[in-house]
Amino acid sequence: MPAVCPGDTTFRFPVRVYYEDTDTAGVVYYANYLKFFERARTEWLRTLGFGQTEMAELDGKVFIVRRASTDYRLPARLDDALVIHSQLSRLGRASLEFRQWCQRDDDVLASGHIQIGCVQRATLRPAAMPGRIAQRLAAVVTPDAPGSQQPFTPPSTPPLT
């Protein structure tokens, strides 16, 4: 079950690795981490009280992925119980940036930085987020360290050598 603890801006979404998630080597296919991240972001929005279908129908606006970068560290395997962690690191008028990472027990398997844009559904042109949504999102932003240009390293993860 997805979880957000009071006072904690990190959303946690459990994922089980199924056979369909793996490649011929028996590990999670690299693109599936992006699917796991997408599911976690979608469920996180639901816990904040709105869904993407609702925003599309009521406001004529949708979220799109503008950029995604992922760092793969360790493989996940069939039947692993994973947790996808998501933090909103930046909120703009028509954009969002997320830090996300996939963890198995204490090991971080993959991490990502995802940039999202808000666009008009009909034209796919940038558009300001609906006020009620921007207001909810503003309450859960976990900004990056000021001036930091370093890639995001998930908590408790030693740097690769």
Q: Which residues contact 144 (CB under 8 A, 6 or more apart)?
A: 89, 90, 99, 152
The tokens describing 68, both together, are: 């995604």
Q: In which order are the strands placed within the sheet that holds 95-104?
A: 11-16, 81-91, 95-104, 107-120, 61-72
The tokens describing 159, both together, are: 């740097």
Expressed in percent and rounded to 5, the helix, strand and coil fractions of the chain are 25, 35, 40
Phi, psi of 68 (to 5 degrees): -140, 130
* H-run or E-run covering 68: strand 61-72
User: Is residue 23 among the annotated active site residues?
Assistant: yes
**Catalytic position from the list 8, 23, 79, 107:** 23
Beta bridge partners of 101: 85, 111
Any idea which residues carry the catalytic annotation? 23
